[in-house]
């Protein structure tokens, strides 16, 4: 899957017919977080004047990191540019403070809108225009109100009271108040209803028509490829593909990446098949694992329904995947099942016990373990120490016995360590048990999280985006591991994933969420063919309708 297979580097520039230097030119950009984790590796990208350039990729691919590097906000996240250059209109943006970047003419709309909720709409716009000269502010405001008439009506309202779509409009409007030459948009369609996504897309097209260059970061490939002239696909910090947007939209590779066509066959032959054989042996006591029955589960945040009447059942010893685009309610569902969020209605019974009314630690004691979307490990502690934390619920030695190192406590610790070493072996972590977690590569850290959850000896394992930020090979390896875990331990696994390719290989059942509702349910193959699912993931690009 090299970039050359879709388009050679030169044709991307030729496609837009640009002469001379592009407005924004990124070359061989390397970004690291906390001095060790490499989030971007040798990324090069051109944004020609007057164009819309899209950057696609899954969670953790480095899209937001790229925007942070351009807008100078990496230090807020503990990151820094290790190598490479970022040139805007011939000026070097590298090492400029965010405020200076804005004054140079590059303005970013952050991911998740980030409106100032306590300020009025009018004050939000004013904050956006602070960097611009006073005389141009009135013109900018005029333009913004023409683009978004609804904001004029809501001028005196607090921004926190606006709907998600209106907040996204406000976030874009606020950035336009600085009259940027280059607008950076981070996931403008995130969590918005389809109609609102279309309106935002129209606005972006209009902004471009008015002469502002746009760099658009999107997970929604359908929207991005329709708007963009050229597109780049990032994968684990590298540019995996790039070329004219129309070309990429029709490319098999892009479809595969988003719908996991190829992975099903591979997965079937390797990991999943192995798992099925192992469970069919009947060696493992599957009967001890109860069923998880979720019925009509609803979660609301204020007036926003994050989850609306979702039902599914995780059969004992099966792998059940919960998938859907960003903002579909997947993590919300997991947080409701583990007692982090209160549910508004519905039930989740595990072996007849109602989970929704229990506190998180009580749920953990029932044998429900989870991993987190973003790593939640103690970075300075060793792998062994992190895994020992997972044994917490199986320890009996108290403060005094442990502190005095009495024989009982020592015996218990030795027994616990044996268990931990067993799990570490299963997940190929034996060699790194004594290393601090922070020193491990990202993929290994994800495995440590999985191992910690397994150390609690769960009967139900909840995995929140285990493959996020992994390359294709890493995620295939992880899929095999998950299948192996299920086969050897006979436990149920509820898996949340964004990456369909990962899910298709290992899941027995798939439930698809979109905007908090269940839109499909069935075997991986059934779900993959479901027109609703294809629409949710790839949309129905108007451009392709005529083909």
Partner 1 sequence: MNQFVTLLANGVSLGCIDALIALGFVVVFKATRVVNFAHGSLVLLGAYVIGRVHENLGFAGAVLLSVAVTAVVAALVGAVLLRRVRLAEPGTLAVVTLGVDIVLATDLTRRIGTDLLTTGDPWGAKVVTIGTVHIPQTRVAAAVVAVVLVVAFLSVLRFTDWGVALRAAAERQETASLMGIRPGRVAAAAWMLAGGLAATAGLFFTAFPSPGISGSVGQAALGVAVPAAVLGGLDSTTGALVGGLAVGLTATFVAGYQDQLSFLGRGFGGVAPYLVMLLVLLVRPAGLFGGKETTRV
The residues binding partner 1 (CB under 8 A) are: 71-73, 75-76, 97-99, 102-103, 107-108, 110, 114, 116-119, 123-124, 126-128, 130-132, 174-175, 178, 331, 335, 340, 372
* Smallest separation, CB 338 to partner 1 (Å): 8
DSSP one-letter code for 272: I
For every residue of 405-472, DSSP letters joined together read T-HHHHHHHHHHHHHHHHHHHHTT-GGGTTSBGGGS-HHHHHHHHHHHHHHT--SEEEEESTTTT--H
* Smallest separation, CB 5 to partner 1 (Å): 36
Is the Cα torsion angle 57, 62, 67, 70 positive or negative in sign? negative
- The CB-based long-range contact list for 240-245 (8 Å cut-off, 24+ gap) reads 240/1, 240/3, 240/57, 241/1, 241/3, 241/5, 241/6, 242/3, 242/6, 242/7, 242/9, 242/12, 242/45, 243/3, 243/6, 243/7, 243/11, 243/12, 243/15, 244/7, 244/11, 244/12, 244/15, 245/54
* Smallest separation, CB 172 to partner 1 (Å): 12
Q: Which helix (H) or strand (E) holds 80?
A: strand 79-88
* Smallest separation, CB 98 to partner 1 (Å): 4
* Smallest separation, CB 235 to partner 1 (Å): 26
Nearer to partner 1, 117 or 525 (CB): 117
Nearer to partner 1, 42 or 164 (CB): 164
Q: Which residues contact 415 (CB under 8 A, 6 or more apart)?
A: none
Q: What angle (nearest 5°) sits at the alpha carbon of residue 496, between those of residues 494 and 499?
A: 135
Alpha helices in 154-271 (DSSP H): 164-176, 194-209, 221-227, 245-250, 252-259, 261-267
* Smallest separation, CB 425 to partner 1 (Å): 30
Nearer to partner 1, 106 or 251 (CB): 106
Nearer to partner 1, 108 or 318 (CB): 108
Nearer to partner 1, 335 or 511 (CB): 335
* Smallest separation, CB 293 to partner 1 (Å): 23
* Smallest separation, CB 174 to partner 1 (Å): 7
In whole angstroms, how far apart are CA 383 and each of 59, 421, 441, 448, 489?
25, 11, 12, 7, 21
Q: How many CA atoms lie within 13 A of 458 on its CB side?
A: 25
Angstrom distance (rounded) from CA 112 to CA 13: 31
* Smallest separation, CB 458 to partner 1 (Å): 18
Nearer to partner 1, 116 or 145 (CB): 116
* Smallest separation, CB 37 to partner 1 (Å): 19
Nearer to partner 1, 446 or 486 (CB): 446
Nearer to partner 1, 269 or 374 (CB): 374
Nearer to partner 1, 117 or 288 (CB): 117
Rg (CA), the chain: 25
DSSP one-letter code for 358: S
Nearer to partner 1, 114 or 283 (CB): 114
């Amino acid at each position: 899957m090299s970039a050359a297979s879709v388009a050679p580097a030169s044709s991307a520039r030729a496609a837009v017919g640009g002469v001379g230097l592009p407005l924004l030119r990124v070359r061989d950009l390397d970004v690291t977080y906390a001095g060790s984790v490499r989030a971007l590796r040798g990324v090069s990208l051109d944004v020609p004047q007057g164009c819309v350039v899209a950057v696609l990729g899954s969670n953790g691919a480095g899209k937001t990191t790229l925007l942070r590097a351009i807008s100078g906000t990496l230090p807020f996240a503990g990151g820094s540019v290790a190598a490479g250059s970022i040139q805007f209109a011939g000026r070097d943006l590298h090492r400029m403070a965010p405020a200076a970047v804005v004054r140079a003419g590059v303005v970013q709309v952050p991911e998740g809108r980030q409106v100032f909720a306590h300020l009025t709409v009018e004050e939000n716009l004013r904050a956006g225009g602070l960097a611009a000269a006073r005389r141009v502010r009135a013109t900018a405001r005029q333009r913004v109100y023409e683009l978004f008439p609804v904001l004029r009506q809501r001028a005196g309202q607090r921004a926190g009271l606006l709907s998600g779509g209106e907040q996204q409009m406000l976030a874009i409007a606020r950035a336009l108040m600085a009259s940027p030459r280059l607008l950076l948009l981070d996931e403008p369609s995130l969590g918005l209803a389809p109609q609102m996504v279309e309106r935002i897309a129209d606005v972006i097209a209009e902004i471009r028509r008015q002469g502002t260059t746009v760099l658009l970061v999107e997970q929604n490939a359908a929207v991005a490829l329709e708007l963009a002239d050229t597109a780049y696909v990032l994968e684990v910090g590298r540019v995996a593909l790039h070329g004219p947007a129309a070309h990429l939209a029709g490319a098999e590779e892009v479809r595969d990446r988003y719908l996991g066509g190829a992975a099903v066959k591979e997965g079937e032959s390797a990991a999943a098949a192995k798992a099925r054989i192992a469970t069919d042996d009947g060696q493992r006591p599957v009967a001890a694992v109860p069923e998880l029955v979720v019925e009509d589960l609803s979660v609301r945040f204020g007036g926003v329904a994050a989850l609306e009447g979702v039902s599914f059942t995780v059969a004992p010893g099966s792998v059940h995947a919960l998938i859907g685009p960003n903002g579909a309610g997947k993590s919300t569902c997991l947080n409701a099942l583990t007692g982090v969020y209160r549910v508004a209605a519905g039930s989740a019974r595990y072996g007849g016990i109602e989970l929704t009314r229990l506190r998180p630690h009580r749920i953990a004691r029932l044998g429900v373990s989870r991993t987190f979307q973003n790593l939640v490990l103690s970075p300075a502690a060793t792998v062994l120490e992190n895994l020992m934390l997972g044994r917490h619920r199986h320890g009996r030695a108290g403060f005094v016995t442990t502190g005095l190192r009495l024989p009982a406590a020592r015996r218990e610790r030795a027994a616990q360590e044996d268990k931990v070493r067993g799990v570490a072996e299963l997940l190929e972590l034996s060699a790194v048990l004594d290393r601090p977690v922070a020193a491990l590569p990202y993929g290994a850290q994800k495995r440590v999280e999985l191992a910690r959850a397994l150390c609690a000896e769960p009967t139900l394992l909840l995995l929140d985006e285990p493959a996020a930020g992994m390359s294709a090979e890493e995620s295939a390896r992880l899929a095999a591991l998950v299948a192996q875990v299920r086969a050897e331990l006979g436990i149920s696994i509820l898996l949340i994933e964004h990456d369909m390719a990962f899910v298709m290989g290992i899941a027995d059942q798939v439930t698809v969420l979109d905007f908090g509702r269940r839109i499909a349910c069935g075997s991986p193959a059934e779900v993959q063919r479901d027109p609703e699912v294809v629409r949710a993931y790839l949309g129905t690009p108007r451009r392709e309708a005529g083909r």
